A = this chain, B = another copy of it.
Amino acid sequence: MSKLRFALLGLVIAGTALPAIAQDRALLGSIKARQGQMQIISKNMGILGGMAKGEIAYDATAAARAASDLAAIGSLNQAVLWAEGSDSTSMSGNAAEAEIWDDWAGFDAKWQDFAMATAAAATTAGDGKEALGPIMGQIGRTCGACHDDYRTPR
């Protein structure tokens, strides 16, 4: 191979690889963003669940805060966090069914169910420990409904 050809080949590889690396970073960021929001949900559900079970002393302010943080996550525009091409078939380390992008409206409707359940919880979680069981059930059902359809089986 001549030096010129070698240099040209290098340019071609660099020209295709560099945008691919930037694209990959964006997709990895997307996975990290949405897995992070699931962890934020998990941490705050853990507080409400711990109080419901009596493992943590019930505290109206802390319960209301955890529920309103869940609602804050529920309010986020999910379109920004689920980049096309970051499904579990295309990229390892995540469990997002490719169907999410084939059926975005269906997926987003399920997210809105979570948003509504958490917004409701934010207004009632401070009402007393007894409120937390039903709240956990209502929110948990919206989590499960979405995972059933759009998360790969473990």
Q: Which A positions have Cβ atoms within 8 angstroms of B?
A: 29-30, 32-40, 42-44, 47, 65-66, 68-69, 72-73, 75-77, 80-81
Contacts and interface: CB of A to CB of B under 8 A. Distances in A.
Nearest to A39: B33
User: How many copies make up the complex?
Assistant: 2
A77 to B, nearest CB: 5
**Top 5 nearest A-B pairs by Cβ distance?**
A36-B36, A33-B39, A72-B72, A32-B39, A33-B40
Contacts of A72: 72-73, 75-76
A33 B29 contact: no
28 contacts: A29-B42, A30-B43, A32-B32, A32-B35, A32-B39, A33-B36, A33-B40, A33-B42, A36-B36, A36-B38, A36-B39, A36-B40, A37-B40, A40-B80, A40-B81, A43-B81, A44-B80, A65-B77, A66-B77, A66-B80, A68-B75, A69-B75, A69-B76, A69-B77, A72-B72, A72-B73, A72-B76, A73-B76
